[in-house]
Amino acid sequence: MKMDDNGGGRPQAVSNGSPGSVMRREYETAGAGQRLWLKIESLVNMLTTPAFNPFYYLGAICVFFLWIILVSGLYLFFFYSITAKGAYLSVQSLSVNQWYLGGVMRSLHRYASDGLVLFMALHALRCYMLDRYKHWRWLAWVSGIVIAWVVLIGGIFGYWMVWDEKARLVATLSAHLLENVPIFGLPLSLNFARVANLTDQLFYIILFIHFSTIFFLFIAILVHIVRITKAVIHPPKAVAWALLVMLLVLSALKPAMSGSSAELKLLAETVPFDWFYMFIFPLLKYMDAHYVWAFIVALTLIAALVPWITRSNRRPVVEITLSNCTGCELCMEDCPYQAIQMRKRTDGMPYPVEAVISPKRCASCGICVGSCDYKALNLPDITEEGVKASVRKHIKELNEAGAAGPRVIVFTCAKGAWLDEKGDGRIPGMESARAVNLPCIGMLQPSMLSIPFEKSAGIDGVLVASCKQGDCHYRRGEEWFMERLHGHRPPVVRKSIDRARLRVVHLSSVEKKEFIEELSAFGSSLGERREK
C-alpha cells in the first residue's frame, strides 16, 4: 500500500497490472452530459477544424475580450466627464457626435463585456463537463470563481458610469444590497433618492472601483495560470480576427446607446435589463436582501468546494530514480502543471541538477515518462517496462494466432476514442490488432513506439490514436508527441522507422465508430502494401 499525496492521507493501492486494466479501473465511461458536449464540439470541428475550434480556446478568448475592454475603456475615459451633470452627456456625445470612432469604441466595450461573461460561463461549464477541475486543477477552479465575481462587480459599476435610467436602476438595487452588509452605516440608496445627494465625489468613487477591478482581475488571472506550464492566453489569429469582426458588425448593426437620462425626481416606466450582469437583482423581488446575500455566499462556497465534493481517488504520482536522472530538464519542460522542478544535485552524480517531484501538482499523466530517455521517471502502476512488456505480449499473441489480416499494434489515449474496457488489449471485430492504453499519448516514449518496428516483431503497422488536436486532457501531451514524431522535440522518434507503416489519428472519446473506421482503413492500406 502507498499513502496518497493529495492531502487526504488516503491509502492507495499501487498496481503493476497491464496498462489496459489500470486504465479500465481509472477511467469510467463518459456520462451523457459529457458525451453530448463532445458531440457538439465534434460538430464544430467539422466547420472550423480542431485547430480553430473556439471551444478549445475559451479561456484565451476571455483574455482577448479583456484586452478589447481595456483598450476601448481607456479611449472612453479620455472623453468621460467625472461629474454628476456631465457623466451622461459625455457618454451620449460619444455615441451621437463621434459615432464613427467613439460610438464604435463604446459598442466594442459593451459587447466585449457581454462576450466575456458568456465565454467565462462556457469555460467553467466545459471544465466541469469534461472533469477538468479536480485535484491538481483546484487552484485554477477556485481562482476562476474569484475572476467571475471581479468581472461582475466591474461590469455593474461600469453601468453606473453611464448614468441613464438603467444605471440608476442598477445603482439603486446594488446600493440596496450593499447597505444590508453590516459594515455600512446610513442606507446607501439615499444617495439616489434626492438630487442634492448626488455629488461628483460619488462618480469619482464609482470610477475608482471600476478601474480597480482591472488590477485585481489581472492578479487573479496570474493566480489562475500560475501552475500551468506554457499557458495558452491568446487564441489563434484567425479566431481572434473572426471575433473582432463579429463585434464590429454587431456594433454597426446595433450600436450601444444610452437610455433616458437618470432623473431622480421622475419614476421610470420601462428600463432595459441586461441579464449578463444583472441576473442577481431579480431575486430582490422575491426575497429580502439578507437572504439574497445568504444565497450568493452559499452558491459561491458550493461552487468553490466542487473540486472536493466530487473528488475521486487519485492514481499514484510519478516516481523518480535519481541514479538514472541526468538533469536534462526535458521532464520539467514537458510537465503540464509544473509538478517537476530542478534543484542542485544531492547524490554526488556528475550532473549539476536533478529533478524533484511536487506530488500535489502531479496529474499522473505520464508525459514526463515520454520525455525521459533514461528511465528516470515512472508511474508506479504503469511503468515504462510494463508498457513495453504489454507491447511484446501483444506481438507474441498476434504472431501465435496467425491472423490473416495485417497485424497492427495500437497505442491509444485513455481519454481518446478507444478504452480497453476488458484490459486484454483486444478490439472486437479486429482480431489482427491489439491496443495498449496509456493515460495520455504524451507518455508514448520513442523506445516504446519502436518495438513493433523491430525486424523480428512481424508487425505490419502501428496506429497511434490520440485525443483531438488542441484538446489534450493534460493540455500538451498530443502536441509534444507530434513534435517528437516529427523530430522537433527530444527525445525524437527514429527517422529509420518507416512512416508508411505508422499512422496517427486524433479522435475524442465519442468517436469510437470513427476509430474503427480509421483502423480498418489503415489495415486495408497495409494489406495493399503487403501485396506489392
Residue 183 has what pLDDT? 55
Percent of the chain with pLDDT over 70: 89
429 dihedral zone (left: phi>0; alpha: psi -120 to 50; beta): left
Question: Which of 130-139, 177-186, 318-327 shows the lowest mean pLDDT across its residues?
Answer: 177-186
Residue 31: band (very low, low, confident or very high) from pLDDT cuts 50, 70, 90:
confident
Return d(Cα 518, Cα 315) in angstroms, integer.
Answer: 31
Q: Is residue 75 within 8 Å of residue 102, measured between CB atoms?
A: yes
Q: Over the stretch 352-400, which tens digit does the pLDDT of each residue have? A: 999 999 999 999 999 999 999 999 999 999 999 999 999 999 999 999 9
Residue 15 has what pLDDT? 44
Residue 172: band (very low, low, confident or very high) from pLDDT cuts 50, 70, 90:
confident
Residue 413 has what pLDDT? 94
The SS3 of residue 525 is helix
- Of 432, 425, 501, 426, nearest to 461 by C-alpha is 501
Mean pLDDT, residues 430-454: 95
Q: Over the stretch 82-93, which tens digit does the pLDDT of each residue have? A: 887 888 899 999
DSSP-derived letter for residue 330 is H
Return d(Cα 195, Cα 211) in angstroms, integer.
Answer: 25
The domains located in the chain, with CATH, are 58-263+272-309 (1.20.810.10), 319-378 (3.30.70.3270), 384-531 (no CATH)
In the chain, DSSP finds a helix count (H) and a strand count (E) of 17, 11
Question: Which of 115-124, 224-233, 282-291 shows the lowest mean pLDDT across its residues?
Answer: 282-291
Residue 141 amino acid letter: W
The SS3 of residue 295 is helix
More confident residue, 254 or 16: 254
Mean pLDDT, residues 182-202: 58
Residue 64: band (very low, low, confident or very high) from pLDDT cuts 50, 70, 90:
very high
Average of per-residue pLDDT values in the chain: 87
| Vertex 491: Cα angle to 486 and 495 (nearest 5) | 45
Mean pLDDT, residues 9-38: 58
Exposure class string for 406-436: b at 16+ Cβ within 10 A, else e? bbbbbbbbbbbbbbbeebbbbbeebebbbbb
Residue 30 has what pLDDT? 57
Residue 4: band (very low, low, confident or very high) from pLDDT cuts 50, 70, 90:
very low
Question: Which of 43-57, 160-174, 436-450 shows the lowest mean pLDDT across its residues?
Answer: 160-174
Question: Which of 70-74, 210-214, 503-507 shows the lowest mean pLDDT across its residues?
Answer: 210-214
Residue 58 has what pLDDT? 97
Residue 14 has what pLDDT? 42
More confident residue, 366 or 186: 366
Q: Does residue 517 carry a pLDDT above 90?
A: yes
